[in-house]
Chains A and B, each alone.
Chain A
Amino acid sequence: EAQVTQNPRYLITVTGKKLTVTCSQNMNHEYMSWYRQDPGLGLRQIYYSMNVEVTDKGDVPEGYKVSRKEKRNFPLILESPSPNQTSLYFCASRAGAHQPQHFGDGTRLSIL
């Protein structure tokens, strides 16, 4: 089954404790992105990747890092999480420029 898998689905943690949210897709897609979704603001792009070892900033990259060492994986790293990063996070992938995004089920992060 074609899917984008994120882990964990839920996480409550404390300020400053490094965390990684994993994202994996099994569709051999080149494009992958991370979004955060906050009430009233919609989905905002954090980082995106066009292929292995090719990443770039989206609209809200501050406080986040990503890597793309393999085509299928695109982890999101919060080196020193802060409460304002409490949000619902979605990973997405797509096959090409005009193709729709396939979203993972989301990760709800709470930073205390």
Chain B
Amino acid sequence: GQNIDQPTEMTATEGAIVQINCTYQTSGFNGLFWYQQHAGEAPTFLSYNVLDGLEEKGRFSSFLSRSKGYSYLLLKELQMKDSASYLCAAFSGGYNKLIFGAGTRLAVHP
């Protein structure tokens, strides 16, 4: 079957580092996206991994292991504005169907 799992909620302290994990089982895997979604707003793109390894973009990094069906999003130097839901999404069976996880709600505290 097709499934994407990520933790429901996480909390972290301002200035710290947090890692949000995502495991997936999809047919015909072709890449994995991470999106950020603030409450009541549309998702916005953070990163895309298609090959194994780490992709770094400023305070945000994303890692993919295709053999393990595993990805993580790493957020450094956390800021209050990073409080949001983080959505993991993977292609399934080609490039038309994108399967989303239920999202991880991150709360950053002072």
- With A98-B31, A100-B33, A100-B48 already in contact, the answer to whether A43 and B97 are too (CB < 8 A) is no
User: When chains A and B are docked, how far (Å) is the Cα of A44 from the Cα of B100?
Assistant: 7
User: When chains A and B are docked, how far (Å) is the Cα of A44 from the Cα of B97?
Assistant: 10
- The number of chain A residues with a CB under 8 A from chain B is 24
Q: Which label, helix, strand, loop or mixed, suits the secondary structure of the A interface?
A: strand
Which residues of the other chain, A, contact B45 by a CB distance below 8 angstroms?
100-102
A98 near B50 with CB under 8 A, answer: yes
A33 near B98 with CB under 8 A, answer: yes
User: When chains A and B are docked, how far (Å) is the Cα of A46 from the Cα of B44?
Assistant: 19
Per-residue B-contact encoding for A93-109, CB less than 8 Å = 1, 0 else: 00001101111111000
Can you sample 8 A-B contacts with CB below 8 Å? A31-B96, A45-B99, A100-B45, A101-B33, A102-B45, A104-B42, A105-B41, A106-B41
Q: A40-B102, A106-B41 are known; give 10 further A-B pairs, CB within 8 A.
A: A42-B101, A44-B100, A45-B97, A90-B43, A98-B48, A100-B45, A103-B42, A103-B43, A103-B44, A105-B41
Residues of chain B whose beta carbon lies under 8 Å from any beta carbon of chain A: 4, 30-31, 33, 41-45, 48, 50, 87, 89, 95-103
